[in-house]
Amino acid sequence: MPRLQQKLFVEFIGTFFLVFTVGMAVTTAPKGLAPLAIGSSLMVMIFAGGHISGAHFNPAVSLAVFVRGKLPSNELIAYWGAQIVGALAASVVFLIIQGNPDGGAPGVPSAFDALVVEFLFTFALAWVVLNVATSEATEGNSFYGLAIGFTVVTGAFAVGAISGGAFNPAVAIGATVMGLFDVADIWIYLIACLGGGAVAALAFNFVNVVSQAPSSPPPPAPPAAR
């Protein structure tokens, strides 16, 4: 069983490379290909670290796993800390390499629209994580990294123009430090992403309870012998 320090180190590394990829791909990748790079980065880091820490790399996912009952309460804040430190470290490296973007960070076109899509796709991401990586029915599968990574790809292509496609408070914090997101919009990502993760966990728990209930009432017991 990995110690907490080992788990946190893996969360730091995975979040670092995810956030660094976000910054570099958004600013240097050919138009339209950034979501593929970001989703692929998440996928390979999940495959690399999933067996040690669960490979959350996302405070919203950690919250979902906590509500799901698969992350001890004394580890939740530590996971958040490692993820945010990883995001900040990636931001510093990005700024050293790329500098601040010209023209400043653009704000989201509509705060309400951004709030909705960030909630929906963080819900989708946490829902997929819980079902492919924490469910007994899919235990030991070899596809969970692909499923999780391509959920991010899907969301980034679908709504990236509306919200920036963070679906992750650590990514949002890192992108804000990099100058890719407007600091005035950070509340959108904190509320929508953490809310989406928590609601996904509640939905997962609800479905699990239903799926474990008997589909039909058990037959009546035979009458006692006289």
167: region left, alpha or beta (phi > 0 left; psi from -120 to 50 alpha): left
Residues 6+ apart with CB under 8 A from 37: 21, 25, 29
What pLDDT was estimated at residue 226? 39
What local confidence, expressed as pLDDT, does residue 46 receive? Answer: 97
In contact, 200 and 128? CB cutoff 8 Å? no
Residues 191, 156, 37: CA angle, nearest 5 degrees? 120
Domains and CATH numbers, the chain: 4-209 (1.20.1080.10)
Element (DSSP H or E) covering residue 162: helix 144-163
Q: Say what the pLDDT of residue 208 is.
A: 85
Under DSSP, the state recorded for 138 is G
Terminal C-alpha separation, the chain: 56
**What's this model's pTM, rounded to 2 decimal places?**
0.89
pLDDT score at 1: 81
Q: What contacts 29, CB < 8 A, 6 or more positions away?
A: 37
Q: What is the pLDDT along the chain (226 residues), one digit of tens a residue?
A: 889 999 999 999 999 999 999 999 999 999 899 999 999 999 999 999 999 999 999 999 999 999 999 999 999 999 999 999 999 999 999 999 988 766 678 889 999 999 999 999 999 999 999 999 999 899 889 899 999 999 999 999 999 999 999 999 999 999 999 999 999 999 999 999 999 999 999 999 999 874 444 444 555 555 554 3
Question: Contact 84/60 with Cβ under 8 angstroms?
Answer: no
Please list, in sequence order, all residues whose beta carbon lies within 8 angstroms of the beta carbon of residue 25, skipping any fewer than 6 positions away.
Answer: 33, 34, 37, 38
Burial of 186 (0-12, 13-18, 19+ CB in 10 A): middle
